[in-house]
Amino acid sequence: MRPILLAGHERALTQIKYNLDGDLIFSVAKDQQICVWFSHNGERLGTYHGHVGAIWTVDVDPTSTYIASGSADNTIRMWEVKTGKCLKTWEFPTAVKRVEFNEDGTKLLGVTEKRMGYLSNIVVIDINPDITAEQTDERSLTIVCDESKATVAGWSQASKYIIAGHEDGSVSQYDAKTGELLDNVPIHELDKPIVDLQWSPDRTYFITACRDKTAKLISARDLATLKTYVADTPLNSATICPKKDFVILGGGQAAMEVTTTSGRQGRFEARFYHKIFEDEIGRVRGHFGPLNTVAADPTGRSYASGGEDGYVRVHHFDKSYFDFNYEVERERLNRSQ
Amino acid sequence: MATTAPPKAKHDWADDDDIEETSSELPPPQTISNKDGTKTIITYRYNDQGQKVKTTRRVRYITQTETVNPRVAARKTWPKFGLSAKDPPGPAPDTTSVGENIIFRPSVSWRKDAKEEGADANAQAMKDKLKDKKVKCRICNGEHFTARCPYKDTMAPVGETTAAEAPAGLADDLGAAAGAAGAGKKGSYVPPALRGDRGAGERMGGSKYGERDDFATLRVTNVSEMAEEQELRDMFERFGRVTRVFLAKDRETGMAKGFAFISFADHSDAVTACQKMDGFGFKHLILRVEFAKKAQ
C-alpha cells in the first residue's frame, strides 16, 4: 500500500479523527491550527484558525456538520466543518486535553488538565445540533477527578456511562446523567498514565493505550479486561479496526528520548494485533518519530497515523489486509458457505 | 489508485505556469486519441535553460465508478477554506504527497518471519555453510581446533611440513610467503610502509638521498646564525669521516636558521661526536647535538 503523506502541520500531531462516513480526516497538532483532509486522496479541504495554543484534541459530530477542539489556550471551540467558522468558545481555567461528542452529537465532554491549583475536571456541555443556534455557556455536568487526574474520557453506548482513563493507570466509570462514580478499576500498571481511549464502533467496549507498553480491550459495562495486547514500547495510541478483527497500536519511546537512542530502537511503527487472538500480525513503518495518534476509518478501508514528526500518513489497505484470516476463521467461513 | 492518470493531470500546476508565461511562443498542447483507447498528450514547455521541450505522454484513462454516500459526494464539492482557500482542485503538492510503497501483509507468524529475515542475511547463510563441516585439526587431522592440538608445539601443520623441511633459504621463503599472505589474504588495504616486502626506509631508494644513513646522522641545534657549513664540517671532521653536512639557511637572507645535520660514514664516530660536541660553545652559543630521528 502507498501511504498518502499529509504535511499540514509544523509540529507534532496530537490527535486524528475520521468522521463517521470516513471521508474526512481531522488532524490537530501543537501548532494552533486544525486541518481537514479528504481521506481518499489526501486533499486538504481547509484549516480552522483561532486557537492560540497547542491543540490537544478534536472530535467531529456524527453528522459532520461541526467539530469541537480542545487546546492549551484553555478553551474548547466549536467550528462549522464546511466553512471553518468558529461558532462558539468555551473558556476553562486550565488546558483541555480531550473532547468527545456522544453518539448522537447532543452532548460534548471535555477533560481539563490539573494545573495551577485546579483539579482535573470532566465537563459536559449540551450541544444544540442546529448550526445557526446560539450554543449554551452552561455546563450540564462537572465531574471532579480528585484522586488521579483524568487524561482521557469518552461516552459509552447510548451515553449511559462516561468512561475516563487516569494518570495512575486506572479506568473509571461514571454515570453520564448524575456524574456519580460507579466504579474505578486499576487496569494498567500503577502510575503509568493511560494516554488514549478509543471506542469500538458500537461503543460497548473500548481500547486503552498506556505508557506501560500494553493496550487493553475493556468492556464499558463492567470494566472487565477482555484482551491485552503487549507491545515492546510505550504506547501513545490505540484504535480498533472496524470490519476486521484487528487493533492498531501506535507508540515509540518518548519524544524527549529519541535523540539519545538509535533510530532502529525507536520502533516508530504502527503495530497490528489480532483483536481476538492478541497476536501481533504485522507492522507498518514510515514515521520518523513516535506515533502520537492512530485512527481507523469507520468504513474499514484505511487508517491514519500522526507522528511526532508532524506528518499524517493515511494508509489505504490492500487486498492482503482484507484477505487475511486465521485458520479457524477460514474454516468457519468455509462451513458457512 | 487504480486511475492511472486522472483528467487533472493535464492541468498540472507546473505546466500551467509555464504555459501562461510563454503561451505566445509555444505551440498549443495536442491531444490525440489512439485506436487502442489510449490518448497521446503532447505539451511544450521551456526548461531551466530556456530550451523548448516537447513532452509526449501516452495516457490511458480508466473511469472508476465508486458509489459513495450522497453526503460524502456533497462534501467533495465544498469550496476550500482557510489556508487551502486558494488551492486549485485536487491535492496540493505542498501539503499532500505519496509515500513509498509499503508492503504490509498480515501474518500469524509475523514475529518469527521478521526475526528470520533479520538474521537470514548472515547467520543463516553461515549456518548452512557450516552444516556438514567438521572441526579438523591442521596438525594432526584430529577432531579439534588446531590451537588445541596436543602436538601444537612439536609438529608443523600438515600442509606446511614440506616447506619447513626445505633446507635452503628457509627464512627468506617463509618471510616472503608471510608477507604475500599478509597483503593478499585479507584483501584489505595495507599502507606501503607497513607492507612486509620492503624495508621502511627504502621508499626513497634510487633518489639522491638513497645512501643516506640516518643511523649515523646527528642533529645539531642552537647553531649561530653566522655559522657556515664549512665551519661545521671542520669541527666534526675530527671525529671521523663526515659524508654530508646540511645547514638550514633562510632562503631570502642567507642566514642560518639555527640547526644542521651532520652525517658520518661510521656510526661509532657519530656516537663519539655526539658525546663530545653536545654542549660545545660555538660562536657564543652552546650547541646541542643529538641523533637525528628518522624521518616518518
The pLDDT tens digits of the residues spanning A143-188 come to 888 888 899 999 998 889 999 999 999 999 999 888 888 899 998 8
Q: Are B155 and B221 found together in one domain? A: no
Confirm whether B2 is domain-assigned: no
- pLDDT beyond 90 at A54: yes
- pLDDT beyond 70 at A80: yes
pLDDT tens sequence across A210-255: 988 899 999 999 999 999 999 888 899 999 999 888 999 998 777 6
What is residue B42's predicted lDDT score, i.e. its pLDDT? 85
Q: CA A24 to CA A62: how far, in whole Å?
A: 12
What is residue B249's predicted lDDT score, i.e. its pLDDT? 84
How close B30 gets to chain A, by Cα (Å)?
A: 28
The closest of A296, A295, A291, A303 to A267, measured between CA atoms, is A291
Greater confidence (A46 vs B188) lies with A46
| Cβ-Cβ contacts under 8 Å for B149 (sequence gap 6 or more) | B137, B138, B139, B140, B142
The closest of A81, A75, A124 to A96, measured between CA atoms, is A75
How many domains would you assign to chain B?
3
Would the CB atoms of A2 and B94 count as touching at under 8 Å? no
The closest of A315, A213, A307 to A15, measured between CA atoms, is A307
Over residues A58-78, the mean pLDDT reads 92
A42 touching B (Cβ < 8 Å): yes
What is residue A36's predicted lDDT score, i.e. its pLDDT? 92
Cell representation of residue A306: 500522526
What is residue B165's predicted lDDT score, i.e. its pLDDT? 43
Those residues of chain B whose CB sits closer than 8 Å to some CB in chain A are 1, 68-69, 71-72, 75-76, 78, 80-85, 87, 89-92, 94-102, 104-108, 110-111, 114
Confirm whether B161 is domain-assigned: yes
Confirm whether B52 is domain-assigned: yes
What residues in B contact A33, CB-CB < 8 Å?
82-83
Of the residues B138, B167, B196, which one is the last residue of a structural domain?
A: B167
- pLDDT beyond 60 at A35: yes
The closest of A194, A196, A185, A254 to A220, measured between CA atoms, is A185
Confirm whether B231 is domain-assigned: yes
Beta-carbon count within 10 A of A40 CB = 19
Would the CB atoms of B110 and A82 count as touching at under 8 Å? no
ipTM of model: 0.72
A278 touching B (Cβ < 8 Å): no
3-state SS class at B14 = helix
Over residues A57-66, the mean pLDDT reads 92
- Which residue in chain A has the smallest CA separation from B92? A43
Would the CB atoms of B81 and A44 count as touching at under 8 Å? no
pLDDT tens sequence across B176-224: 444 444 444 556 788 777 776 655 455 444 444 444 556 788 888 888 8
pLDDT tens sequence across A260-310: 665 555 568 889 999 988 888 888 888 888 899 999 999 989 999 999 889
Confirm whether B49 is domain-assigned: yes
Would the CB atoms of A4 and B68 count as touching at under 8 Å? no
Under 8 Å CB pairs connecting chains A and B tally to: 122
What is residue B128's predicted lDDT score, i.e. its pLDDT? 62
Of A16-25, A80-89, B66-75, the range with the lowest mean pLDDT is B66-75
Confirm whether B243 is domain-assigned: yes
What is residue A24's predicted lDDT score, i.e. its pLDDT? 92
Q: What CATH number corresponds to the domain at position B255?
A: 3.30.70.330
Q: Are B138 and B70 found together in one domain? A: no
Q: Report residues of chain B scoring pLDDT below 70.
A: 1-25, 111-134, 154-187, 196-214, 294-296
Residue range(s) defining the domain that contains residue B138: 130-167
Q: Which residue among A44, A321, A326 places its CB closest to the CB of B95? A: A44
Of the residues B56, B76, B96, which one is the last residue of a structural domain?
A: B76
- pLDDT beyond 50 at A38: yes
Q: CA B198 to CA B206: how far, in whole Å?
A: 14
Greater confidence (B42 vs A96) lies with A96
Domains of chain A: 4-336 (2.130.10.10)
The shares of helix, strand and coil residues in chain A, as percent rounded to the nearest 5, are: 10, 50, 45
- pLDDT beyond 90 at A139: no
Over residues A51-69, the mean pLDDT reads 92
What is residue B122's predicted lDDT score, i.e. its pLDDT? 59
Is residue A313 very low, low, confident or very high in pLDDT (cuts 50, 70, 90)? very high
Over residues A22-33, the mean pLDDT reads 92
